Amino acid sequence: MVGGYLDSDLDRCPWMRTALLQWGIRDIYGLRTRIGAYLSTVDDPLTTPTIAWCSAFVNWCMQQNRIRGTGADSARSWLPWGTPLAYAEWGCVTVLSRDSAGPGAGHVGFLIDKDPNSGRVSLLGGNQSNQVMFRSFPTDGTDGYRLLGYRWPPGKLIEATA
């Protein structure tokens, strides 16, 4: 077992091992070497200290495992990517709207857990309080977040656990 996750989960989802090893990386203006690596996967020149980098983080994790991401810095660019899932699956790419930030805004991260009672999802993602961390999000529109979809990497088999 690694950090509460079975080794078989990490073997099935190698991008999660990569993401978990990034936990705690912070976006500190002027010291953005790791964030710069994430942003290089979406061709972002680091022109502003407030750039959103959640999609860049997911792209980087996929790239490290030889899985083609979207190459885009938009969280919603993950909606047509890969295979859509009808249910929450540990390690899947989870796309949320962020309506409070305007139309077309969103957030993306890797699913850790979904609370069956509240519907909240726990994600491991980048640019969550300016760092790679675990954070819980509503999926019903509360606080401006709404679930848009779960995605699984193209060409990767998934064993149903639901």
60-108 tens-digit pLDDT: 999 999 999 999 999 999 999 999 999 999 999 999 998 776 677 899 9
**pLDDT tens per residue, range 16-72:** 999 999 999 887 765 567 888 898 898 765 655 557 899 999 999 999 999 999 999
Confirm if 147 and 96 have CB atoms less than 8 A apart.
Answer: yes
Token pair recorded at residue 53: 């980098």
**With the CA atoms of 64, 32, 136 and 5 taken in that order, what torsion angle do they form, in degrees rounded to the nearest 10?**
40
Token pair recorded at residue 138: 């509503």
Confirm if 51 and 44 have CB atoms less than 8 A apart.
Answer: yes
Predicted structure pTM score: 0.87
